[in-house]
Structure 1
Amino acid sequence: MSNDTITYRVEWGRFRHKGTRYEVGEIFEADPSLAEDWPHTLTAVVDGGEKQTDGQQTFERMEPSQSESEFDASEFVDRSPMDPVLEDIEAGMVDEHLDTVLEAEKGGRDRDGVRDAIADRREELNEE
């Protein structure tokens, strides 16, 4: 490991970094500042131990124990603050579940930001 990178483990969903997609449990090296942007998704692996990278903010995390077939869209969208939900949508972590996420959001808090993030993600997927 280089001095200017640290090792991260993906804790929830799928994570894309520099064109590579990582699944739950996969480990990769990246710039230390990455943790600031994805505190609810990544865990820094330090000296054989773990350190949750939540910085100054506290986020409610989804547990990685859910399999893809057990995805609970209502639980996914019911997190606060809304930023982690938006980040997960923008990162493509729930691409296979965008329809159910949208329905859960409409049936719950019905936040414009989440609906907009889903629409933006769909546009991005159509461009790929």
Structure 2
Amino acid sequence: MPVAEKTTGGEVYLRGIDQRVSIGDRVDVSEEFAEYLVEERTDFRLVDVQDVEFEETNNEDSPEDVDEASGFDPGSFLDRNVDPVVEDIKAGDVDGHLDEVNEAAERVTVQDAIGERRATLETQED
């Protein structure tokens, strides 16, 4: 069964699965409904099943996820709606952890924000 992730826009109600979803939410859908979400609505993307399985089994409190020196947990940081994550990245709130966040990031929007922030930092250094 395909898994679709809401990538843009506000909260919506999907009659096909009788569920409300917001940005970052993932839902199991039929092949036909997945095609509708991705191609007609365009505010969803299909997620690789391997990504979903990893996310479901990941223990966010595991010690290897937390930077001992700073107490920063990239999993907890990324486990929010995409808009506040992107805002924090662009504001420079996680500049010291961009590599960690980039490694843990699965959303293209977050990866793009990291790239933009790195470009901004490089420009400031010059």
Same fold judged by TM-score > 0.5?
no
Task: Pick the structure with more helix per residue.
Answer: 2
Larger Rg, first or second structure (1 or 2): 2
TM-score by length of 2: 0.43
